[in-house]
Amino acid sequence: MNLLDIIGGLFPNTIAFYIAGNVFADILYISILIVMIAILAAALSINQAMRSVLRLTNPKVLKEEQNAATARRIVRKKYWSDAWNYFMGLKPIEQEKSLIIDDHQYDGIVELDNPIPVWFNALFYSTVVFAVAYLLIYHVLGWGLNQDQEYENEMARAELAKKEYLSKTANLFDEHTIEPDESGSLARNGEPLFATNCAACHGMVGEGGIGPNLTDRFWIHGGEIKDVFRTIKYGVPEKGMVPWEQTLTPGQIAELSNYILSLRDTRPPNAKGAEGVEVAAYENERNPAPANGEERAAAVGEGNG
């Protein structure tokens, strides 16, 4: 560890910056610094001594010097107070007579015609300038965006962000990981998808047609969400059910699966007859969160029977 590190540690970013890192150069620089400080101190004390001599030998010079300084101070003070009065529109009390409005007096009470303060006028004129600049920038030259354009920009940006988010999350679903969506929002999004893609074969409300009824408890390929997801994704081509893997994103298939789950037991009119095997109790029906242990045992017994 050299001098540089020690001083750098004590005074980070200050004196260490000027130090060379070589011990001899360091010592030289520090000595020069000390000598310069000593010379400065010496000069100050010589100045003091000279003034003491002057006070004894020629006090008039010192007196004149002092008077000049006082005069300068007074002028400076007046300059600032004048400037302040001008800015605030104030008149010194001795000029008040000139402000009196002659025909506005009654019973010795007079009215003064005080000028509008400069600060107020400055503010007023700056609003005018601002308004003109604003008009030009936002409405004539079109350099700035007005509220509507800003709103549209924000919406477009949000739309992009949404797309990006969806393209990232859409692929999080597959037939092994999908779970029923408790919030119901996926099912809601699935409804229009179903109407455009599936209703032709499964009916507008899933009652069945060319394809089987999706609202009953009978399933050819299984009625749990994972089964439904798999059926939609890979289809049953030999039976006329299209594989949707290429057409829909995994996110859309998840929405459709949840929508189909939400159709369970809706008993639409003109429902197609049962096909496949009945599912007596679905996964989420087999394990309800019962209030007490007995009910739970009963529910489990039922599921097994």
Binding site for ligand HEC (CB under 6 A): 197-198, 200-202, 210-212, 214, 219-221, 228, 231-232, 236, 239-242, 244, 256, 260, 275-276
173 vs 244, beta carbon nearer ligand HEC: 244
| Min CB(151)–ligand HEC separation in Å | 35
Task: Specify whether the CB–CB gap between 215 and 194 falls below 8 A.
Answer: no
Q: Cβ 179 to ligand HEC, closest distance in Å?
A: 17
Q: Which is nearer to ligand HEC, 192 or 288 (CB)?
A: 192
How buried is residue 218: exposed, middle or buried, by Cβ count under 10 Å (0-12/13-18/19+)? middle
User: Pick from 30, 35, 24, 36: which is nearest to 11 by CA?
Assistant: 30
Q: Which of 222, 303 has the CB closer to ligand HEC?
A: 222
Nearer to ligand HEC, 117 or 276 (CB): 276
Task: Return the number of other C-beta atoms located less than 10 Å from residue 244's C-beta.
Answer: 19
Instruction: Return the number of the residue (4 or 228) whose C-beta is nearest ligand HEC.
Output: 228
- Minimum distance between the CB of residue 156 and ligand HEC, rounded to whole angstroms? 30
CB of 200 to ligand HEC, least distance (A): 5
For the beta carbon of residue 43, count every other beta carbon within 10 angstroms: 10
| Counts for the chain of helices (H) and strands (E), in that order | 11, 4
For residues 105-136, one letter each, b for 16 or more C-beta atoms within 10 angstroms of the residue's C-beta and e for the rest, the string is: eeeeeeeeeeeeeeeeeeeeeeeeeeeeeeee
